[in-house]
Amino acid sequence: MLKSWKSVEPYLLVTPQTLVFLLFLVFPIATIFIVSFWEFTGYSMTPGFTLENYRNIFTSQVSLATYLNTFKFVGLVWFFTLIIGFPVAYFLAFYIDSLRWQIILFLVCTIPFWTSNIIRMISWIPFLGREGLLNKLLMGIGLTSQPIDIFLFSDFAVVLAMVHLYTLFMIVPIFNSLMRIDRNLIAAAEDTGASGFQVFKEVILPLSQPGIAIGSIFVVTLTMGEFVTVRLMSGGQAASVGYLIRNQIGSLQYPLAAANAIILLIVTLAIIFGILRTIDIRKEL
């Protein structure tokens, strides 16, 4: 009796997680996958098997342009979150000694998440808008005589808002990596004559790569599927794949949306795979 309990125990322990995984991840994705092959004419869709949805996407100039635009956002957001997030993580890890202050400063980094998207967008207007602080400042110091429109409702604004939001996802894993670097390694590098820059290049940067990789995965995945920020900050004038899918769902075009979602998923996974092939993150896990 006891023996048989022992043998089923491990299976019982993993059952809830497995069920959650199957029910809320595998099953929905499988459903989306199946629906992406359904036939779709006008407003109706019928179970079946057609590659028309995919053919549609692959031959459409709009989806190509939309994917390129999404990649542009991903690339820019990734780049800026990295060059902004790394120094912040570095500062937190190497210049802040007390855990208390590290936590407080981390909370400061989460401030962008304390408000809703719409509130955030509203609050960008007085800053970036035509009459906004930034334009007033630039005009005040004589750098420009006309208000600059591209600060808001532009690709610039989209990238700015996403960088503002997602830098935290870069900071945390990089911070984690940096905290794991034995401080003696840095002392050892200095001891053998490495300059500050050499210590960074030879020791800190290589050892923070797993953190950069994990942060990149977060940022890339979040940005690939992003549509709310894209819509609000571009004033609806820029497209992203997520936004395209959302519009299709909104118009009840489920098979098209499903096919797009599957392609987005595959593209995102391919990028993650590429990152993992480049950098070994096992040490972080």
Partner 1 sequence: MANLTRRQLLRTGLAAGAMVTATQCARGTPNNPAPGPTVNTNQTKDVTLRFIGTGVSQINEIRQKAEEDLGFKLEMRALSTEENNQIAITQAGQYDVFDGEYFSLPLVVPSGNLQPVDVSRITAFDQIVPIFTTGQLYDGAKVNSSQGTAPHRVMFLTDQESTEFAPEPTNWATLIPFQYNADTLGYRPDLVGREITSWGELFNEEFRGKTSILDIPSIGIIDAAMVVEALGLMTFGDKGNMTREELDQITQILIEQKRAGQFRAFWKTFDESVNLMSSGEVVLQSMWSPAVTAVKAQGIECIYAPLQEGYRAWGGGIGLSRNLSGIELDAAYEYINWMLDGWVGAFLGRQGYYSAAPENAKKFMSQAEWDFWYEGKAATEDMIDPFGTKLESAGAVRDGGSFNDRMGNVVVWNSTMDEQTYLVQKWNEFVAA
Partner 2 sequence: MITGTTQQTQAVSRPDVAFVHAEGVMLRSLTKKYGSFVAVENINLDIPAGSYCCLLGPSGCGKTTTLRMIAGHEEATSGDVIIGDRRVNDLPPAKRNTAMVFQNYALFPHKTVRQNVEFGLKMRGVKMSDRAQRVNEMLEVVGLSQFGDRKPTLLSGGQQQRVALARALVTRPQVLLLDEPLSALDESLRVKTRGELRKLQRQFGMTFIQVTHAQDEAFSLADQIVVMDHGHIDQIGIPTEIFSAPASRFVARFVGDNNIFMGKVTHVTPDTHAALIQLQVDRLGTFLCRGQAADVGMTAACSVRADRMVLKPHTTDSHTPNHLSVRIATVEFTGYVTRVSLVLEATGEEALYKVRTEDWMAQPLQEGQSVVLGWSTEDCIFLSH
Residues that bind partner 1 (CB under 8 A): 23-24, 27-28, 31, 35, 38, 40-47, 60-62, 65-66, 69, 118, 121-122, 125-126, 129-131, 149, 152-153, 231-232, 234-239, 243-244, 247-254
Whether the CB-CB separation of 63 and 278 falls below 8 Å is answered with no
Residue 204 Cβ, how far from partner 2 at the closest point, in Å? 11
Cross-strand pairs, 44:
41
Choose the contact partner of 130 out of partner 1, partner 2, none; CB within 5 to 8 A by kind: partner 1
Spatial neighbors of 63 by CB under 8 A, at least 6 apart, are 56, 57, 241, 244, 260
CB of 5 to partner 1, least distance (A): 29
101 makes contact with partner 2 (CB under 8 A): no
Closest CA to 86 of 198, 199, 211, 201: 211
Nearer to partner 1, 131 or 191 (CB): 131
Query: Could you tell me which residues come within 8 angstroms of residue 132 by beta carbon, excluding any fewer than 6 positions away?
Result: 125, 126, 151, 152
Looking at 35-43, 120-128, 188-196, 226-234, which segment touches partner 2 (CB under 8 A)? 188-196
E strand or H helix that includes residue 45: strand 44-46
Picking from 125, 187, 119, 185, the residue whose alpha carbon sits closest to that of residue 153 is: 125
Closer residue to partner 2 (CB): 109 or 194: 194
Task: Single out the residue of 118, 154, 114, 116 nearest to residue 134, CA to CA.
Answer: 154
- Give the C-alpha separation, 217 to 219, whole Å: 6
The smaller minimum CB distance to partner 1, of residues 81 and 248, is found at 248
Nearer to partner 2, 42 or 193 (CB): 193
| Phi-psi sector, 48: left (phi>0), alpha (psi -120 to 50), beta | left
CA 234 from chain centre, in angstroms, equals 18
Q: Which listed option, partner 1, partner 2, none, makes contact with residue 75 (CB within 5 to 8 Å by class)?
A: none
> Could you say which of 28, 126, 206, 236 contacts partner 2 (CB under 8 A)?
206
**In angstroms, what is the minimal distance from the CB of 203 to partner 2?**
6
The total of other beta-carbon atoms located within 10 Å of residue 284's CB is: 15
Termini Cα distance of the chain: 37
Which C-beta is closer to partner 1: that of 87 or that of 126?
126
String of contacts with partner 2 for each residue 128-167, x by CB under 8 A: ----------------------------------------
Near partner 2 by CB under 8 A: residue from 178, 189, 217, 239: 189
Per-residue burial over 86-113, b = 16 or more CB atoms within 10 Å of its CB, e = otherwise: bebbbebbeeeeeeeeeeeebeebeeee
Choose the one of partner 1, partner 2, none that binds residue 43, judging by a C-beta under 5 to 8 angstroms depending on kind.
Answer: partner 1
Q: Which is nearer to partner 1, 148 or 281 (CB)?
A: 148
Q: Which residues bind partner 2 (CB under 8 A)?
A: 182, 184-185, 187-195, 198, 202-203, 206-207
